[in-house]
Structure 1
């Protein structure tokens, strides 16, 4: 009998309060995805209301990037000092509270400011909910963090679908965002009453900024490769299908849906496979599947091969970040929040850097050559996985 199965048998089923906490954390992940997709699905409406050009919109979205990345090290320090639940509470108020402001901002500078606040809240929620996920995972004594990230993806699908319906029915972004924000705050409040308490010794008067140290650099760089690949697909996937493979508009748009479906499937299956295979073998398999997908997409410039490649890329990338978060929490069990934040700060750098790098390479060498970058990223990621520290070696 595998060691993890034997341990589950010895300890029996998790207590009822732990199962309720799992449902609560899953709800938080779902709502977080829903709120972000609500904004993403109505960007055209916001752009049209303000009469912004594509360049002006890109400038406003800089606020989103700056808010997200700058908040990561600060949030990690706050989680270390005060625990994940208070940070989650503040983050939820800022995150869901800023959503309606995005629909009523009267000009570009105030929209950028509202997006920065929205992103800061999202970052606080992200780090705190992943810390909660790690605490629940410890109580379960088996991997479950992947299932939480699957709920985030499903929440994104639900939010996008609701946004599509609202837009189709002529509902303005203002009422849509206000109702979504109010419902989200109410649901968040209910979920947070049954979260797992932070450990009694969680308070830490250490550094206010959570920065990568020691064994966190390798996990951070793995997350960098994975999130850079995800960012490239998000921003350039449809363009590549349309321009390089000759796909029509509908097929090109389906590329992101196929990639997202692969992400959901991979996250739903990840915990069980990782429990049986172990972290490093599982991560190696993820890198190989993602690398194969990236290679298939560019090896044959055809819509079908592109869609197949995107599905495999999503499947391979799906669980990399949740597994990395779970791993660094094991490396530093006394500081899971700051460790997750530090790794996220490195990882999201890749998410932001990927799309402009692809644009620069495409400008000089063509888009098909530029889309070889994800192939190289997956090779680097697979090499880095083999250098992951074991929890015992870092304590």
Structure 2
């Protein structure tokens, strides 16, 4: 069943923008939980299985590579079953992967579990972002930031659960089982709500509308921004716990706190994103965020002790948090009828950044140079200033009083 067919299948359901938004918010929160559960348990898994530093780096890079492949599996699933079913299936798979990571008896088993997780989170990424783009069109104003706020809240909760499990001296398997249970509960809450007809893909749109060379050229600035953002994100997310543990001599209980602070910063930033865009425009928001990220990364690299690193990580999250949702929202508006295809391809830049940041940081960390791993992305963040002008303000609010009120939110194809 194509995406348009899935939309017709939902036609008999009550139209509910609010219901669809709640479900998408839960999916984003669940994705934040899953990613945080994996990243914050890296030190514990490494010590439990006695993994070499280079092998740990290879596993994190593998997760990113598999997520890139999972994006295209997610694209196929969205076109066949729709984004809601894709989100639900990906969440169940991610929960199974977390359990397998915790119970893996050796290197080969944990590698397979990380591969499964990468595929699941890539598919979830496409499903949730495709749904979020349709919901934003239905609302006719910026709402992407609220979804990524939920993502960050999920990350904070999962990081604190990891720290709590370490404090109680639970085995890593028990901590990951707890996180998997959270995902299962959230997956059970995923329901389908029809959106106004004009915010869905038109029924006469082919399953794979050609994007055209012009769209690809216009997509490149957003791809560059995502690349840099996820170099920064993976450097902080995947290795901040290890950085605190190895370089700043933090305990296993304290090590996840940098990730928690980073995600707490993203909660604050993303909660303010939609209002800031409406007030000062996307271009100004991107420029301010880029400067904040550059300064905070430099501070993290120079941190004399773990409390300073935790504060700096929070500041990085505050600045970086607004960039991905604004990037995805602007890119999706390039071709609303083919938003799932655009977002799946844009994810290649996302995971290229994750691979680059994760691999380079891991290699530097394995030689004892984690400080340099945080200083280098600070220079890259300044490059985002050049791309800021390509970001667009969301369409104005759609007129009310009509079931097809979202029509004005859909920009012309181009």
Please name the residue that 1:9 is paired with. Answer: none
Matched, 1:249 2:254: no
| Alignment CA distance shift 1:296-1:25 (3 Å) | same
| Alignment CA distance shift 1:223-1:259 (3 Å) | same
Please name the residue that 2:261 is paired with. Answer: 258
| Alignment CA distance shift 1:369-1:29 (3 Å) | closer
Map of 1:207-356 to 2, 5 A cutoff? 213-235=216-238, 249=250, 254-297=257-300, 302=304, 309-356=312-359
Please name the residue that 1:157 is paired with. Answer: 156
Question: Aligned equivalents of 1:185 and 1:364: distance in 2?
Answer: 39
190-199 or 312-321, larger mean C-alpha shift = 190-199
| Alignment CA distance shift 1:98-1:203 (3 Å) | farther
Map of 1:70-149 to 2, 5 A cutoff? 70-80=69-79, 82-149=81-148
Q: CA RMSD in A?
A: 3.8
SS in 2 for 1:192: coil
For these two proteins, the number of residue pairs brought into alignment is: 378
Question: Aligned equivalents of 1:254 and 1:390: distance in 2?
Answer: 35
Map of 1:19-98 to 2, 5 A cutoff? 19-44=18-43, 46-47=45-46, 50-80=49-79, 82-98=81-97
TM-score norm. by structure 1 comes to 0.80
SS in 2 for 1:268: helix
Please name the residue that 2:380 is paired with. Answer: 377
In structure 1, stretches of 5+ residues that fail to align are: 1-14
Please name the residue that 1:4 is paired with. Answer: none
| Alignment CA distance shift 1:307-1:52 (3 Å) | closer
Q: What do residues 324-375 of structure 1 show as CA deviations (whole Å, max 9, x unaligned)? A: 1111111111111221121121122112212443566789996656544222
Question: Aligned equivalents of 1:312 and 1:107: distance in 2?
Answer: 37
Q: CA deviation at 1:314?
A: 1.9
| Alignment CA distance shift 1:186-1:257 (3 Å) | closer
Contact persistence 1:358–1:370 (CA under 8 A):
yes
Q: CA deviation at 1:384?
A: 1.8
SS in 2 for 1:213: helix
| Alignment CA distance shift 1:81-1:217 (3 Å) | farther
Q: What do residues 87-135 of structure 1 show as CA deviations (whole Å, max 9, x unaligned)? A: 2233223222333222333332232122111111111111111111122
Map of 1:190-201 to 2, 5 A cutoff? 190-194=189-193, 196=195, 198-201=200-203
Contact persistence 1:266–1:314 (CA under 8 A):
yes
369-378 or 250-259, larger mean C-alpha shift = 250-259
Question: Aligned equivalents of 1:142 and 1:358: distance in 2?
Answer: 37
Question: Aligned equivalents of 1:320 and 1:218: distance in 2?
Answer: 12
Q: What do residues 179-215 of structure 1 show as CA deviations (whole Å, max 9, x unaligned)? A: 6535533432322234758535397432899999232
| Alignment CA distance shift 1:159-1:203 (3 Å) | farther
Q: What do residues 220-276 of structure 1 show as CA deviations (whole Å, max 9, x unaligned)? A: 1111111112222335557777999xx663788754443332222111111110122
In structure 2, stretches of 5+ residues that fail to align are: 1-13, 395-410
Question: Aligned equivalents of 1:241 and 1:165: distance in 2?
Answer: 17
Question: Aligned equivalents of 1:233 and 1:174: distance in 2?
Answer: 24
Greater fraction helix? 1
65-74 or 132-141, larger mean C-alpha shift = 65-74
Q: What do residues 117-156 of structure 1 show as CA deviations (whole Å, max 9, x unaligned)? A: 1111111111111111122222222211111111111112
Q: CA deviation at 1:287?
A: 1.4
274-283 or 308-317, larger mean C-alpha shift = 308-317
| Alignment CA distance shift 1:302-1:186 (3 Å) | closer
